[in-house]
Chains A and B, each alone.
Chain A
């Protein structure tokens, strides 16, 4: 049972807990946040950590904890949508390429090669710069750069699966090709897909934050971790450390958590690791 073994590994369990906390916070942001994230209060501008403002306030006196919670919402939503789109698109292309082979395979894989020829971040940067930096475009940019990951993964899995005897058996009982792929072969590809998606989630969050950090991602007044880090960076020298520390910490913690859980899942779902603690 993967879940029980996941629980046994304390670090991964803590990471899973962190993901859960961030997710719940994002879901319940309007009720959890103590203040309106966009409500300025000049009286407490640049106030340090206190009981009233646990994580301090920014230049306009906005409560940083509230902004951080609402920012998490955007980060997770963008990363999740991008991952979902990339996974759907990539898995479909990969399945077609792997099962059909021939010219379909060539066409898809050369397309994938073309996308992979650019460093992922540079490509995402170019897309948002060219199309304008709306939230939808950020999602599209990250999704596009992630498509090759899933395409290559599923193509490889399909190449393996289509030669198995149960694939042959599915053909002998009169299944059509799309039925074989969807019903008989795809379920066999799900475990590595889950692992890859988990790892890619961390990477996607990092990309949203990085794009926003340089001003090409999520735009103010909507708060976002990378953008908050960028704003806070200007205050490091003048001593307002809370402005950069907490958003930076939020990014690090979330990305690390996804990577840890992904790594552990990979170990757990790897057949060679079955029975090993």
Chain B
């Protein structure tokens, strides 16, 4: 299948006073048309930075050092800034983590959506407003006419997130990046938001990259999952494979850390914390936390290798055990 988005060796560095922080390190993955790809990892694993890098929204002191982002046949990193503006919002849209602060406090929510139609589709204000109401109806907001004339602080958290989603899909993007869209929402509202995203994905055929730290969200909504740890992508697989047969020690630990109420298995937290990304040691960044660490792990960075149909993993231990090591 031809891919909608292909990311190769994406590397993002942040220059801080203490030195270079390697926030995203040689990340490669792809997104297929119409699928929902989950990106999971602990805080600080580089999920959000990766998402922002896709839209080239990394601002100094951050810098995309290397890599290629192919989207609809063009390398986004090579595009002039003016043409990138046409990609943002129109072809790739971003749903923010905290909808309330991502909405402008002094503009009505309807105005903010209508503005997008005027910006990207150059329609007259009246027509833009009509489409705005339509869009608010689509994302399940009751009384859209009234709500459109209200400000963010007059709406509930769930409603703000619906507005954000309406903004994101307003110009029918091919790729929707949702950065922790359900954080801060209560469980039932979060479930509704996920349902909405899934339904919209199906309806419009857009692909969704769903960034989250919640494996429950992944299991519920995603087709495939990419697991990130300390700025590196360690495993990528379809959602069933990942939960049934995780290969990377980190993924296995993540799956084991899900609290289970149906079995008498104690929840196992992952030992250690995300390592500092400040001038990290060569090799696998999970080495210090890993139970199956080998000598080679500290020397050489493992690369993603196929480990089955639509299953890739970056781990020396897995390679050695399965005999796929090519040395």
Contact = CB atoms under 8 A, between A and B. Distances in A.
B32 interface: no
Interface stretch (A42-50, A161-169, A258-266): A161-169
Nearest to B84: A174
Nearest to A191: B106
Contact of A184 (B86, B88, B93, B107): B107
Interface stretch (B8-16, B113-121, B216-224): B113-121
A186 to B, nearest CB: 9
Interface string B96-126: 1010011111110000000110011000000
B101 A174 contact: no
B69 interface: no
A267 to B, nearest CB: 20
B98 A171 contact: no
Nearest to A169: B102
Nearest to A176: B85
A169 to B, nearest CB: 4
Task: Specify the main secondary structure of chain B where it touches its partner.
Answer: mixed
A166 B103 CA distance: 5
A172 B107 contact: no
A187 B107 CA distance: 8
A171 B107 contact: no
A170 B103 CA distance: 9
A174 B88 contact: yes
A169 B94 CA distance: 8
A183 B164 CA distance: 18
Contacts of B90: 174
Interface in A144-179: 164-166, 168-176, 179
A174 B89 contact: yes
Interface in A27-77: none
Given A171-B57, A173-B119, A174-B119, A165 B89 contact: no
Interface string B73-94: 0000000000001111110011
Contacts, number: 58
Q: Chain B interface residue count: which class?
A: 20 to 34
Nearest to B177: A172
Q: Which interface residue of A166, A173, A175, A187 has the most chain B CB atoms within 10 A?
A: A173
B55 interface: yes
A190 B106 CA distance: 10
A181 B279 CA distance: 36
A172 B57 contact: yes
B94 A172 contact: yes
Given A165-B96, A166-B101, A183-B115, A174 B106 contact: no
Given A171-B57, A173-B93, A184 B120 contact: no
Nearest to B115: A183
Contacts of A166: 101-105
Q: Which interface residue of A168, A169, A183 has the most chain B CB atoms within 10 A?
A: A169
A157 to B, nearest CB: 12
Interface of B: 55, 57, 85-90, 93-94, 96, 98, 101-107, 115-116, 119-120, 164, 167
Given A169-B164, A172-B55, A173-B88, 20 more contacts: A164-B101, A165-B101, A166-B102, A168-B96, A169-B94, A169-B96, A169-B104, A170-B104, A172-B57, A173-B116, A174-B85, A174-B86, A174-B87, A174-B89, A175-B85, A176-B85, A179-B119, A183-B115, A184-B104, A187-B106
The 3 closest A-B pairs by CB, nearest first: A173-B89, A174-B88, A174-B89
21 contacts: A165-B96, A165-B98, A166-B101, A166-B103, A168-B57, A168-B102, A169-B104, A169-B167, A170-B104, A171-B57, A172-B88, A172-B93, A173-B88, A173-B119, A173-B120, A173-B167, A174-B86, A175-B85, A184-B107, A187-B104, A187-B106
